[in-house]
Structure 1
Amino acid sequence: MGERLNWLRAGVLGANDGVVSTAGLVVGVAGATDNRGALLTAGLAGLLAGSMSMAAGEYVSVSTQRDTTKAALALERRELREQPEEELEELTGLLQERGLDREVAREAARQFTERDALRAHASVELGINPDELVNPWHAAWASFLAFTVGALLPLLAIVLPPTAWRLLVTVASVLITLALTGWSSARLGAAAIRPAVVRNVAGGALAMAVTYAVGSLLGAAGV
C-alpha cells in the first residue's frame, strides 16, 4: 500500500511539473506572438523535451538505486555464507536494539535465519525488501506519461481557444489544475492541504507572470 501511494504521489508531482513548465513556456511565447503555429511548436517542443528529460533522469536515478540495493544484498549474501555465526549475532543485536531482551532476540534471530536469513537481514539491517526492487523502465515510463499528461493541458489551452481568450483560458485552467495537484499531493503525503495548494498555485502564477513579461519585452523589441 505504501509503495502504491509513493507511485501515485510521484505521478501527481510529475504531472504538476508538466503543467508548470509547459505553461511557463507557452505563456512566455504568447507574450511575444499570437501565432498559433509558433505556440504549438513551442508547446510540443517543451512537452517532448520535458517528458524525455524526466524519463531519462528517473531511469538513471532508479537504476543507481537498484544497483546499490543489489550490491548491498550481494554483500549480505556473501557474509551469511562465510560467517553465519557473526551474522546471527549481529541480527540478535539489532533485534535487541528494537526492544527485545537478549534471550528472546536470540531465539527470534535463530528462527528468522532458519526461515530466510537473507530476507531477515535485508529487512532488519538494511530496510530492504528483496522482492520489491524498483524497475527503472517502469519508473521512466511513469515519469514520461505523467509529465506528458500534465503538459497537454496548457498546450491545448493555448492553441484551441480563439486568440482573445487564449491567455485567460490557459491561466485559469493551469491555476485550477495546480490547485488540484497541490491538494492531491498533500492528501497522498498526509500533509497540510492549504499550504500545499497555496504554494503550488503561487509558484505556477509566478512562473507564468515572469515568462509572459519576458516574452512581451522580447516581442516589443522585435527579437
Structure 2
Amino acid sequence: MFEYQTVYNAYTALIAGLVTSVHCVAMCGPLSCAFTPSKQGDAEPAVILTSYHLAKLLSYAIVGMLAGAFGSVVIQTVESSWLNRLPWVLVVFFLVVAFRLDRFIPKPKWLGNYYRKATARFSRLNKPLAAGLIGFASPLLPCGPLYMIFGLALFSGSALKGAEFAIGFGLGTMPLLWLAQSQFMRMNRRVTPSMLLRVQRVVAFVAALVVAWRLRTTLGIEGAEDWVCHPF
C-alpha cells in the first residue's frame, strides 16, 4: 500500500516553497523597505534579514503545528485508503501555481488590512526588531499559496509534522526572497517580473508532473510499486 507521507513531507514542502518564492518576491520583496538600514547607526543588513527570516520561520512553525495538531484528530477518523490519495492535493497545488489560479483563491481582506497597519507601526522601531515583528506577522499576508500550505498542514499527521511541513515551505521561499530583499533595486533592473513568472510557472508544472508520476501507484497502475520508496 502506498504511504502518503513518502511524498507528503518537508521535502515536498521545500519544493513548494521554492516554486512559490517568485510570488513571495513580488509580495514580500518591497516590504524590505520597511526595515532597510537608513542611517549609519542601523544594524547590518545581514542581521536585519536574519531577524526577519527567523521570525517568519517561527510563525510558520507555530501555525503549522496548530494545524497539524487539529488535523491529526480528523485523520484518525478517516479511512487509510482516503489518506493515500491525499498527496494528489500537492499536484493540485503545483498546477494552481503553474496556471496562476491562486489569484482566484478568496483572501480575507481584514487580515491584509491588519498586516499593513501592523507593518506601518513596526517600521518605526529599530530595524532588527521591526524586521522580526514583520516576519512574525507573515501568516497574515493575503497570500493564496501560503493559505494552501497551511491547509495542507492540517493533514500532516501530527503537530510536529505540521510544523516540519510549514518550516520546509518557509525554507524554500527563503533563498530568492533573501536575494530580492538584499539586492532589491539591482535585481529589479536585471530580472523582470515576467521573466521570474515564466520560470515559476515552468518549475511548478514540472513539479506537478513529477509528484503525479510518483503517485501513479495510488491509481493502481502496474509497475509503479517499485518507485514509492524513493524520495521525491
Shared fold per TM-score greater than 0.5: no
Larger Rg: 1
Higher helix share: 1
TM-score using structure 2 length: 0.41
TM-score using structure 1 length: 0.42
